[in-house]
Amino acid sequence: MYVWIWRHLPGPLAVRMLQVLVAISLVSLLLLFVIFPWIEPHLPINKVTVSTK
């Protein structure tokens, strides 16, 4: 998949590297600030309370 993407990026090497960096940053930001905050409450981690009756 990554090879396919690399082949289809336009421009010379330097421009392609720049595009790759931008793409990685975008995906990371999406994960960190949108996907993880959304998914985290559904994960069984970081529960700190005891149940009371």
Partner 1 sequence: MSGDTIVAPSAAAPLPNPRHSTVGDKVRFALRGIGQTLITLGLVVLLFAVYEVWITNIFAHREQVKVYNALHQEWLNGFDPLSLPETGPHSIPPGSGIAVLYIPRLGADYHFAIVQGSVVPDDSQLEKGPAHYADTQLPGQIGNFGVAGHRVGKGEPFLNLDHLRSGDTVVVETKSMWWVYKVLGRPDGADPEGNMTSIASKCGDGSVSGIPVPGREIVDPSDGDVLLPVPSHPGCTPTTAALMTMTTCHPKFTASQRMIVHAQLATQYKNNRHWISSGKFPPQIAALYQEASA
SS (H, E, C) 16-52: HHHHHHHHHHHHHHHHHHHHHHHHHHHCCCCCCCCCC
User: Residue 23 interacts with partner 1 (CB under 8 A)?
Assistant: no
Please measure the distance between the N-terminal and C-terminal CA atoms of the chain and give it in whole angstroms: 52
Residues 24-43 that bind partner 1 (CB under 8 A): 28, 31-33, 36, 40-41
User: Residue 10 interacts with partner 1 (CB under 8 A)?
Assistant: no
Which of 2, 13, 14, 38 binds partner 1 (CB under 8 A)? It is 2
Which residues contact partner 1 by CB under 8 A?
Answer: 1-3, 28, 31-33, 36, 40-41, 44-53
